[in-house]
Amino acid sequence: MNSTKHHLVTINGGSSSIKFALYERGNMPRHIFSGSIENIGTDNTTLSYTDIITGEVTTTAIKINGFEEAANYVLDWLEGQPGFDSVQAMGHRLVHGMQHTKAEKISDDLLNELKRIRPYDPDHLPAEIMLIELFANRHPSLVQVACFDTAFHNSMPLVARLLPLPRKYFDMGIQRYGFHGLSYAYLMRELESIAGSIVANGKTILAHLGSGASLAAVKDGKSIDTSMGFTPTSGLVMGTRTGDLDPGVAWYLMQEEKLTPQQFNHLVNHESGLLGIYDKSADMRDIIQNKNTDANAAEAFDLFCYQTKKFIGAYAAALEGLDTLIFSGGIGAHSPEVRNQVCDGLEFIGIEMDEVKNMNNEAIISSATSKVTVRVIKTNEELIMAELVCDVLDEAI
**Of the candidates 397, 357, 356, 349, the residue with the CA atom closest to the CA atom of residue 375:** 357
Sheet with strand 104-105: strands edge to edge: 57-61, 46-50, 30-38, 18-24, 7-13, 87-94, 143-148, 104-105
HSE-CB for 318 with a 13 A CA cutoff: 22
- pLDDT reported for residue 210: 94
Dist. CA 259–CA 91, nearest whole Å: 37
32: DSSP letter? E
- pLDDT reported for residue 395: 84
CA distances from 69 to 66, 84, 337 (A): 6, 20, 38
For 167, counting Cβ atoms within 10 Å of its Cβ (0-12 exposed, 13-18 middle, 19+ buried), the class is exposed
Domains of the chain and any CATH numbers: 7-148 (3.30.420.40), 196-376 (3.30.420.40)
What are the catalytic residues? Answer: 149
- pLDDT reported for residue 2: 43
CA 213, chain centre distance (Å) = 7
Dist. CA 261–CA 13, nearest whole Å: 24
Dist. CA 1–CA 390, nearest whole Å: 13
Dist. CA 380–CA 23, nearest whole Å: 13
- pLDDT reported for residue 66: 87
**Of the candidates 153, 132, 130, 128, the residue with the CA atom closest to the CA atom of residue 218:** 153
Cβ partners under 8 Å of residue 35, min gap 6: 19, 20, 21, 47, 48, 49, 50, 77
- pLDDT reported for residue 61: 93
Strand (E) positions, 107-265? 143-148, 203-208, 214-219, 222-226
**Of the candidates 315, 310, 309, 284, the residue with the CA atom closest to the CA atom of residue 297:** 284
Dist. CA 135–CA 142, nearest whole Å: 8
Report the amino acid identity of residue 1: M
- pLDDT reported for residue 15: 72
- pLDDT reported for residue 1: 39
In order along its 397 residues, the chain shows pLDDT tens digits of 344 678 999 999 877 789 999 999 988 899 999 999 988 888 889 999 887 667 788 999 999 888 899 999 999 999 998 888 999 999 999 988 888 889 999 999 999 999 998 888 888 888 899 999 999 999 999 999 999 999 999 999 999 999 999 999 999 999 999 999 999 999 999 999 999 999 999 999 999 999 999 999 999 999 999 999 999 999 999 999 999 999 999 999 999 999 999 999 999 999 999 999 999 999 999 999 999 999 999 999 999 999 999 999 999 999 999 999 999 999 999 999 999 999 999 999 999 999 999 999 999 999 999 999 999 999 999 999 999 999 999 887 5
Dist. CA 327–CA 208, nearest whole Å: 6
